[in-house]
Amino acid sequence: MSPPDKTILQTALSLDIDLPYSCQSGMCTACMGRCVAGKVGLEEEDALTPKELAQGYVLTCVGHPLSEGVVIEID
Ligand code: FES
């Protein structure tokens, strides 16, 4: 299975799922959420601290699902 081209944010918006976002390029962290199931690959993770990354935080605007059943909690 190759990862979908679209980001999690793009997919959510195309399905009318309302998610917070702003820059859409992995800079502002407005779209930050915590991955509680599945695996997410980030194109860009410089905006997250090592602690946030260790806690499973992801940026949906640069995140792609790498597994089935990805669940992301938005604070
Ligand atoms: S929308 Fe700015 S980091 Fe995702």
Would 2 be classed as within a structural domain?
no
Question: Which residue in 51, 55, 49, 47 sits closest to 75, CA to CA?
Answer: 55
> Per the domain annotation, does 21 fall within a domain?
yes
Q: Measured from the CB, is residue 66 less than 6 Å from ligand 1?
A: no
Tell me how far the alpha carbon of residue 62 lies from the centroid of ligand 1, in angstroms. 8
Give a yes or no: residue 17 inside a domain: yes
Task: Count structural domains, the chain.
Answer: 1
Query: Is any ligand 1 atom within 6 A of the Cβ of residue 22?
Result: yes
Residue 2 binned pLDDT confidence (cut-offs 50, 70, 90): low
Q: Is the pTM of this model over 0.85?
A: yes
Is residue 54 classed as helix, strand or coil in its secondary structure?
A: helix
Does the residue 67 lie in any domain? yes
Q: How far is Cα of residue 46 from the mean position of the Cα atoms in its chain? A: 13
Q: Residue 14 belongs to what domain range?
A: 8-73
Report whether pLDDT(1) > 70. Answer: no
Does residue 1 belong to any structural domain of this protein? no
CA of 1 to the centre of ligand 1 (A): 26
Tell me, what's the pLDDT at 5? Answer: 85
- Condensed to tens digits (0 to 9), the pLDDT of residues 33-53 reads 999 999 999 999 999 999 999
Assigned domain for 3 exists: no
Residue 68 pairs in a beta bridge with: none
59 CB contacts (<8 Å, ≥6 apart)? 26, 29, 31, 32, 42, 44, 45, 47, 48
- CATH code, domain carrying 25: 3.10.20.30
Tell me, yes or no, whether 53 lies in a domain: yes
